[in-house]
Amino acid sequence: VVVGNAHTPGDAAVHAFVYRGTGPMVDLNELVDPTLGWSLTGAQAINNLGQIVGLGRIGGETHGFVLTPIPEPATVVLSVLGGLLTAWRRTR
């Protein structure tokens, strides 16, 4: 997994991105609620939990950010069902 910054096609601004080794680079601004007012300009690092740190602009000022991934509902449901199945098999 690689994070960094790049120009998006046809855009003069620099955007933070993540690339997971397959498929296209993903603009991190597409993953953040636009009503929050952030413009993420550079991603600096990613850890084993998938948390990304970097710099962005909000209210005309540059600030640091931390993005923490939220599991999709289907992933949570499958994890819970897997745990329940494992517990049930142990009781048999």
How do the pLDDT tens digits run along the chain, 92 residues long? 999 999 877 777 899 999 999 989 999 999 999 999 999 999 999 999 999 999 999 999 999 999 998 877 665 555 566 666 666 566 65
pLDDT at 10: 79
- Report yes or no on whether pTM surpasses 0.85: no
Contact between 32 and 17 (Cβ < 8 Å)? no
